[in-house]
Structure 1
Amino acid sequence: MPQLIFINLPVADLSRSIAFYEAVGAIRNQACSDDTAACMVLSDVIHVMLLTHDKWRTFTDRQIPDAHASAQVLLCLSRDSREAVNAVVDQAGGAGGRIDPNPTQDYGFMYGRSYADPDGHIWEAMWMDPAAVPNL
């Protein structure tokens, strides 16, 4: 079995966050979701667990940071093309996300943009020419 990743994110409004992640291509796994959490499937191995603040607090006693004002992580997912990078950023903007909270990166062989979800969590979308980096 391949190793799976579950990214846990605290969210202020679970319904709003579910709608946002569905708009950028995630599929909700109903079997792992309830009124306090939603499992959003991005790929066979990547899952985002959206947790209400109360649910989050059952996992840790650490303070929930304001992701609009600070960043603990930047999450980056690859895309198949430059056009696919632009498309997901546009989808995020149309779903209420903030487009390009970080500068666009264009190095010719690599292209990336970013968006923030409604809670301020930053996602980067990037494309890299496989011929430029053959060992990835």
Structure 2
Amino acid sequence: MPSKMIFVNLPVDDLDRSKRFYETLGWKIDQQFTDDNAACVLIDDNICVMLLIRRFFETFIQRPVADTVIITGSLYALALPSRQEVDDLLTAALRAGATEEINPDKRAQERAVGMYSRTFIDLDGHQWEPFHMAYPE
């Protein structure tokens, strides 16, 4: 195992539906860490998303679970190597049932700093922001 990894834990309403959604994005389900309560989605070697059915998710917390359909609790920004990969991920997400969110103010800010990003909302209301940053050489 790498020295550092990130596991983002997300509550979901329908585990099988959510697994299919993330597989459509090209990400793999790690069966070793998947059961009826949770599924481990491998984004890459160091980034995993744990999909937890709400009832199971609640066993890890003291506070109420946010209703992400009406409240944004977090933004999941994912750096990608190219603008094309940003567009490809968004296209796959839309095909899988996500919705795109467009913020014209954010586009102007991104142009000013050389960043390109798109935003999609997954089936459970989680906000993903794939982006590409053109670093000066």
> Residue type matched to 2:33 in 1?
C
Provide the TM-score with structure 2 as the length reference. Answer: 0.90
State the partner residue of 1:50.
Answer: 51
Mapping for residues 20-31 of structure 1, pairs under 5 Å: 20-31=21-32
State the partner residue of 1:38.
Answer: 39
Aligned-partner Cα distance in 2 for 1:27–1:128: 25
Moved over 2 A (4+): 100-106
Provide the TM-score with structure 1 as the length reference. Answer: 0.90
State the partner residue of 1:59.
Answer: 60
Aligned-partner Cα distance in 2 for 1:74–1:80: 19
Q: Indicate the structure with greater helix content.
A: 2
**Contiguous gaps of at least 5 residues in structure 2:** none
Check the 8 A contact 1:90/1:99 in 2, yes or no: no
State the partner residue of 1:7.
Answer: 8
State the partner residue of 1:74.
Answer: 75
Q: Over aligned residues, Cα RMSD in angstroms?
A: 1.5
Q: Closer, same or farther in 2 for the Cα pair 1:102/1:32, shift >3 Å?
A: farther
> Residue type matched to 2:48 in 1?
H
Structure 1 residue 130 corresponds to structure 2 residue 130: no
Task: State the Cα deviation string for residues 56-89 of structure 1 (Å, max 9, x = none).
Answer: 1111132111111111110100111111111111
Q: Closer, same or farther in 2 for the Cα pair 1:58/1:93, shift >3 Å?
A: same
Aligned-partner Cα distance in 2 for 1:60–1:27: 27
Check the 8 A contact 1:79/1:125 in 2, yes or no: yes
Structure 1 residue 107 corresponds to structure 2 residue 108: no
**Contiguous gaps of at least 5 residues in structure 1:** none
State the SS of the aligned residue for 1:16.
Answer: helix
State the SS of the aligned residue for 1:42.
Answer: strand
> Residue type matched to 2:72 in 1?
A
State the partner residue of 2:126.
Answer: 121
Shift of 1:102: 4.4
Aligned-pair identity (%) = 38
